[in-house]
Amino acid sequence: MWGPEGLDEVEAELLGPPEDLKGKDVLEIGAGAAQCARWLAEQGARPVALDISHRQLQHALRIGSSFPLVCADAGALPFADGSFDLACSAYGALPFVAEPVLVLKEVRRVLRPGGRFVFSVTHPIRWAFPDEPGPEGLSVSASYFDRTPYVEQDEEGRAVYVEHHRTIGDRVRDVVAGGFRLVDLVEPEWPVWNTSEWGGWSPLRGNLIPGSAIFVCERD
């Protein structure tokens, strides 16, 4: 699943036709509980699920995984050059790092020539609206161009959650600076079957403004 709209890889085929995944080495970045890696393994791929959070990987272990789980920072991947055919990330790592180009360069390094990296992030336009599912989430309340990160702190003032804002142009430039060619930029439309509300996500908003941006990138 690429994002809360519900676009899944079976439908989207952004990593290629599912039958071509068989035997491919695939790195999932910011894997969380490794849902994507689990699906990839079911297709016959050889996934590796990477996340910086030990706790998330414990969830992956508890649910069950027949593939390696790696606890590491996406900006310093513990793999040799050219280890993977494909890489993917559904809202993993890239929204949360201050220097996304470092991550993109690392992903490029560990991909084989011709390798593809597909990643999804919150669509940058959402930054300009309150994160509310109802009508209050439809009026612009902040500048789209404001790159100040969203930060939540604990009682001692330590940052416990940080999300960085990049405009669409910033993200395209990051992809290019990371050494990739941008093949497609998918903005999934809200499907009629999805009637669920979750956080700021809802059919009302989803029908009017994009929620996810999926970058399909290839290296030479």
Contact positions vs ligand SAM (CB under 6 A): 30-32, 35, 51-53, 56, 73-75, 90-93, 96-97
Within the chain, residue ranges assigned H as helices are 9-12, 35-42, 54-63, 100-110, 168-177, 203-206
Q: Residue 97 or residue 183: which is nearer to ligand SAM going by CB?
A: 97
- For residue 184, give the 3-state DSSP assignment: strand
For residues 33 and 82, give the distance between their C-alpha atoms in angstroms, rounded to a whole number: 25
Which amino acid does the sequence have at 21?
A: L
**CB of 135 vs ligand SAM, minimal distance in Å:** 26
**CB of 62 vs ligand SAM, minimal distance in Å:** 14
**CB of 32 vs ligand SAM, minimal distance in Å:** 3
Q: Residue 3 or residue 210: which is nearer to ligand SAM going by CB?
A: 3
- For residue 209, give the 3-state DSSP assignment: coil
Per-residue CA distances from 94 to 121, 140, 148 (Å): 7, 24, 16
Structure tokens of 95?
């929204």
Q: Residue 58 or residue 139: which is nearer to ligand SAM going by CB?
A: 58
Q: Residue 136 or residue 152: which is nearer to ligand SAM going by CB?
A: 152
Q: Residue 135 or residue 158: which is nearer to ligand SAM going by CB?
A: 158
Kindly tell me the sign of the dihedral angle through the C-alpha atoms of 138, 144, 32, 67: positive
**CB of 65 vs ligand SAM, minimal distance in Å:** 13
**CB of 104 vs ligand SAM, minimal distance in Å:** 12
Whose CA is closest to 50, among 103, 128, 10, 125? 103
**CB of 28 vs ligand SAM, minimal distance in Å:** 7
Structure tokens of 157?
């003032």
Query: Running DSSP on this structure, what letter comes out for residue 46?
Result: E
Q: Residue 97 or residue 185: which is nearer to ligand SAM going by CB?
A: 97
Structure tokens of 209?
């403004």
For residues 88 and 32, give the distance between their C-alpha atoms in angstroms, rounded to a whole number: 12
